[in-house]
A and B are shown apart, each in its own frame.
Chain A
Amino acid sequence: MSNPAIEITNLNFSFDKLSILENINMTIEQGDFAGLVGPNGGGKTTLLKLILGLYKAQSGQISIFGQALKKQRKLIGYVPQYADFNSDFPISVQDTVLQGRLGVSSFFASYSKRDKEIALNVMQETEIFDLADRSIQSLSGGQMQRVLVARALASQPKILLLDEPTANIDLRAEKDIFDLFKSINQRMSILIISHDIAFVSDYINKVFCLNKTLVCHKASPVTSDTIHALYGDHVSEVHHRH
C-alpha cells in the first residue's frame, strides 16, 4: 500500500508560550484534493508553514510519503498568500517562475536550458505564457496568482500547498483557477487553505476544519453543525452554489 502524501500525528505548536495548534492528526492520501478551512487566527497558515518546515513543532511528527519531512521538503510546492506578497519588486514573470527551479537547478551560475523549458511548460499550463516578459508590477490579482502557482509547479512537486489562492480575485477568475487546480490534481496531491467553504466543497474530496485543533475532518459536505463548531453560533449561513 502506498504511503500517504502527508501524515501528521499528535502535532503541537506554540509560539512565545501561546498555544497555536493542539493535538493535530491528519492524513492526506496521494491524489487527495483537501481543503483546510477555519476562522482567522485559527492556525491554518501556521499549519501550512509547519508542513513546509518553516516552523518547528514542539512535539509530534510530520511525514511526507512515509519519510521525515526534512528529506522530503523539495517534493512540496508552495503558493503563499498573495496579500503578503512583494508585488512591487522589479522582476519579470518568467524570472519569478524560474525561482521554482531553485534547489533543483545547479548551485552556481544561472538557470539551465532545462530549467527554462520547464518554466515555459508550466507557464503554458497556467495560461501566462503571453505574460512571460511582463514585469509583475503590471499584473492583475488573478494573473499574479497564476504566476505564483506556476512558480510552485516549476519545482515539479508531488504535493501542492496553497494559502488562500483566491482571496484577491473575482468570482469568475476564482472558478477558472479552481478548474486549473482540478487538472493539476490529476498528477499531485493538493492541500488548499480557503475561507470560502461552500465554494471549495465543489472541488475538494476532503475537508479539515481547524480552530486551534481539528474540529472536523471528513469527505462529506460541510453541515451547519460543523460551521457552528468552528465559528460559534452567531454566524448566518449564506448558501451560494455555483
Chain B
Amino acid sequence: MLEFFNTLASQPFLQNALLGGILASIGCGLTGSFVVVNRIGYMAGGIAHSVLGGMGIAYYVNFDPFIGALIAALISALIIGTIKLKWKHQEDTAIGAIWAIGMAIGIIFISKSDGYNANLMSFLFGSILMISNQQLFIVLLLDIITLIFLALFYKQLVAISFDIEFATVRGVNVNLFYLLLLCLVAITVVLLIQVVGLILVIALLTLPAAIARQYVHSIGLMMLMAVGLGILFTGSGLFLSYEPDLPAGATIILVAGIAYLLSSLFKSFKGFN
C-alpha cells in the first residue's frame, strides 16, 4: 500500500498522472455541472465518441492525436448543436449517427496506421500513467480557457440552462450561447480523454456533478463540489489501481460510479424518513 506513495514521491510519471487527474477534474467539475442541469449527457456522449475520427486522422498523418481530437470535438459540437437547434424532431437519431460516423472514421484511419491495437486501446480507455508534460500543458491550457469563458458568461449560461425562453425575451443570443456551451463540453471532453479515454469520459463528466447536485442548490456550489469530488475520484482511482496493476481509467470510473450509487441510495433513504 505504501508503494504507491513511495513511487509518487520518487517517480515523475505518477506525479504527472496525479496532476493530470487534478487538472482534468477542474474542467470536468465546471462543465459537467452544466451538462447535468441541461440534461445533455447524450449530446456530450456524441461529441466524445465522434472525437475518435479526429484522433484517427491526426494519428494517420503523424499529427498530435489530441490536437486532432480537439478539432474533431469542436466540429462535432457545432454539428450536434445545430441539429439540436434546427432539427428537433430527429435529434436523437442524428446525434447517434454523428456518434457512430466519428468512431467509424477513427477506426478506419487507426487500422491503416502502425501500432493499431496499443493506440486504439489508449484512445478508448485512456493512459493516464503515460501522460506527457506536453499533454499536461494542453490540459492546463484548456482549463484556463474554460475558466475565462465561465468568468465572462456565467450568467448567460445559467440563464439559458434555467429558462431558455425567458433568456430569449431578455435579448440573450441563446443559439450562440448554446453552441458555445457545447464547445465548452467539447473542450472538456478532450481534456478528460487524456485521463480515462473516450469510452468512459461521460461518466467522469457527469457523475461528480450529479452527486454534487444532490447536496447543493446553486450551480456555483455544484461546480466547486464536483471539482473536489473529481479530484477525490481520480486520486483514489489511481491509488487503488496502482498496486494490483488495474487499468487506471476504469478504476477511476468505478470509484465514481459506486460513489454515485451510494449517494443516490443515501439520498433516497433520507427522503423516506
Contact = CB atoms under 8 A, between A and B. Distances in A.
A-B pairs with lowest CB-CB distance, top 4: A135-B217, A103-B171, A102-B170, A103-B170
A99 B159 contact: yes
A90 B165 contact: no
B238 to A, nearest CB: 30
Contacts of A18: none
Contacts of A73: 169, 171
A155 interface: yes
Contacts, number: 71
Interface string A163-180: 000000000000000000
Interface stretch (A106-114, A189-197, A210-218): A106-114
Contact of B166 (A74, A92, A108, A151): A151
Interface of A: 52-54, 73-74, 76, 78, 80, 85-86, 89-92, 95-96, 98-100, 102-103, 105, 108-111, 135, 137, 151, 155
Given A86-B163, A91-B217, A92-B218, 8 more contacts: A52-B169, A54-B165, A91-B162, A102-B159, A102-B172, A109-B152, A135-B218, A151-B166
Contacts of A54: 165, 168-169
Contacts of A96: 162
Q: Helix, strand, loop or mixed for chain A's interface?
A: loop
B154 interface: yes
B135 interface: no
A98 B154 CA distance: 13
B156 interface: yes
A149 B213 CA distance: 26
Given A80-B165, A99-B167, A89 B152 contact: no
**How large, as a class, is the contact surface on chain B?**
20 to 34
B158 interface: yes
Contacts of B213: 90
Contact of A90 (B166, B168, B171, B216): B216
A80 B152 CA distance: 27
A90 B218 contact: yes
A74 B60 CA distance: 52
A52 to B, nearest CB: 5
B198 to A, nearest CB: 28
B163 to A, nearest CB: 7
Contacts of A99: 155, 158-159, 162-163, 166-167, 170
Given A54-B168, A90-B213, A90-B216, A102 B162 contact: no
B171 to A, nearest CB: 4
A54 B167 CA distance: 11
B103 to A, nearest CB: 33
B166 to A, nearest CB: 6
Nearest to A137: B217
A95 B218 contact: yes
B166 A78 contact: yes
Nearest to A78: B169
Interface in B139-189: 151-156, 158-159, 161-163, 165-172
Contacts of A98: 155
A214 to B, nearest CB: 24
A74 B152 contact: no
20 contacts: A54-B165, A54-B168, A73-B171, A80-B165, A89-B162, A90-B217, A91-B162, A95-B158, A99-B159, A99-B163, A102-B167, A102-B170, A102-B172, A103-B170, A103-B171, A108-B152, A108-B153, A111-B155, A137-B217, A155-B170
A88 to B, nearest CB: 9
A80 B167 CA distance: 12
A80 B163 CA distance: 10
A109 B170 contact: no
B227 interface: no
Contacts of B168: 54
A110 B169 contact: no
A105 B155 CA distance: 10
A181 to B, nearest CB: 19
Nearest to A155: B170
A127 B20 CA distance: 49
Contacts of B154: 110
A114 B144 CA distance: 29
B219 A102 contact: no
A149 to B, nearest CB: 13
A135 B216 CA distance: 9
Interface centre among B155, B162, B165, by most chain A C-beta atoms within 10 angstroms, is B155
Contacts of A92: 217-218
A110 B155 contact: yes
Contacts of A52: 169
Given A80-B165, A91-B218, A103 B155 contact: no
